[in-house]
Amino acid sequence: MIRSLVAAVALTAVLSGCGTTVVNPVTGQAERTVMDERAELAEGKKAHAEVLKEYGVVKDERLQAYVNGIGQTLAKQSHRANIPWTFTVLDSPEVNAFALPGGYVYITRGILAYMDSEADMAGVIGHEIGHVTARHGAQRATRQQTAGLGVLAATVLGAVLESKAGLSGGTEMFGQMAQGVAAGYVAKYSREQELQADSLGAEYLARSHYDPRNMIDVIRVLKLQEAFAADEARAEGRPVPEGANWLSSHPSNDQRLQQISQNAARYSGSYASDGAERFHQAIQGMRFGESPEQGLTRGRSFYHAGLGIALTAPSGWRIDNEAEALTIASPQGDAALRMISVPPDAGSSHEDIIRNALKPSEGKLTRGTINGFDATHFVGTLPTRNGQGQPVEVTVVTGPKNNRFLLLYLSQDAAARNRAMPGLLATEKSFRAMTPADQQAARPWAIRSVPMPRGGFAELARQAPVPEKRLQLLNGTWGRSDPPAGQMVKTVVEQ
């Protein structure tokens, strides 16, 4: 979701520009645009800074240099070898990759963990390069302006600034649990653009001496993720999630697979090695899953070492840790406690914060403490356009190091709220400074490449903090037989 918001920053910035005509480097056709190459470079550069701030980069210069090297090789073979290219591994467990206009390409450590070779990774990067060379971001900006979507984009931009500054204008958010809809709309490429990026990715692979059929392997591995997520959800009696990875923003996978296979067949030739060994070496020790800096979930508890806080959810509740907020949702998903970090300039007292953040029309404050930390509970009404007012309930707490947090009580309706109230209160009460036991539980995980032992993933899983099937998924063999003993495979270790 952050990806969409950030992309919107780049797009809204140029909406004021008037149209001009450029030649598309891929098709050779002239196209009317609000974003010429200079604007692409300038807006991409600005948004790049936002992306780095929002996600953070993986602090491993060797890995960054490796990924950048492969990216530069592919970009040199692309339709826009002339622009400066930047490739960055983001410190995010999300399985994702994306690009901004002007040659900025991002790949998360989350997606790298599931790749099995350099050629796989090159497939993902090649696809993203394709979005840039074919000017898909610029086309989207132009479409938006033509369709008069400036207002929507501005709304999304508002959401970004809000999560940065924390609060102002946040009232829209309280009623609705999902604010990603508009953002997703703004960020989506068309189906044709996705298929074009696939085809360009395969082309760049082939020109860089990687077998373009690796595009197919990438899709297969990511498709497996969707099946795995669906399987887990069913096992836990949850609704099957709509994919949230790189793949889900893309066209029907079967159609995609078919088209890539056709494309790949056009580039039959002899290719260099798929670089599996180099790749395994490069991701050795790379962090897996959430990081302590961004907060991590272990069982029913959430730990944030940087902020020094921990919370524990009631049994059956779900913890969702996103950059802009931590959400602990009821088993039915119809109520949640959402924790937002309050920026220092949001107000000096709890009352100020509530007034500035919510702008309530009326309400009642109650002072208290949570595990020794000053807390102020507020129940009141927010003004709405129709004049009816919207109920709001929130607690502001000052935690360790004087960091302030807003704990919002969210629910779909009054019935859901009543049902969830004991859980919401219990969650709030669990807010605490991290104890030594919490610190022990909050150790991060890392990827390690090892030769497959004779006992297969079952044997590796005995030493790993994740179950056997997760290791199978990580290695793309879930639902298949294990690779032979001695072959290099990835496992997960506690740091």
Binding residues for Zn ion, per CB under 5 A? Answer: 194, 197
* Side-chain half-sphere exposure of 457, counting CA atoms within 13 A: 23
The residue among 76 and 191 lying less far from Zn ion, judged by its C-beta, is 191
**What is the Cα 13 distance to its own chain's centre?**
22
Minimum gap (Å) between residue 321 Cβ and Zn ion: 25
CA distances from 460 to 33, 35, 372, 490 (A): 54, 51, 43, 10
Minimum gap (Å) between residue 180 Cβ and Zn ion: 17
**Whether the Cβ atoms of residue 24 and residue 196 lie closer than 8 Å to each other:** no
The residue among 122 and 420 lying less far from Zn ion, judged by its C-beta, is 122
CA dist., res. 415 & res. 118, Å (int): 52
CA dist., res. 215 & res. 252, Å (int): 15
The residue among 97 and 397 lying less far from Zn ion, judged by its C-beta, is 97
**Whether the Cβ atoms of residue 4 and residue 156 lie closer than 8 Å to each other:** yes
Minimum gap (Å) between residue 145 Cβ and Zn ion: 22
Minimum gap (Å) between residue 256 Cβ and Zn ion: 10
Minimum gap (Å) between residue 33 Cβ and Zn ion: 20
Minimum gap (Å) between residue 106 Cβ and Zn ion: 12
The residue among 246 and 373 lying less far from Zn ion, judged by its C-beta, is 246
448 φ, ψ (degrees, to nearest 5): -135, 130
Beginning with the edge strand found earlier in the chain, give each strand of the sheet holding 296-298 in spatial order.
296-298, 301-304, 309-312, 432-433
The residue among 39 and 197 lying less far from Zn ion, judged by its C-beta, is 197
The DSSP letter of residue 103 is T
The residue among 135 and 377 lying less far from Zn ion, judged by its C-beta, is 135
Minimum gap (Å) between residue 201 Cβ and Zn ion: 9
The residue among 91 and 128 lying less far from Zn ion, judged by its C-beta, is 128
- Report the 10 Å Cβ neighbour count for 301: 16
The DSSP letter of residue 403 is -
446 φ, ψ (degrees, to nearest 5): -140, 160
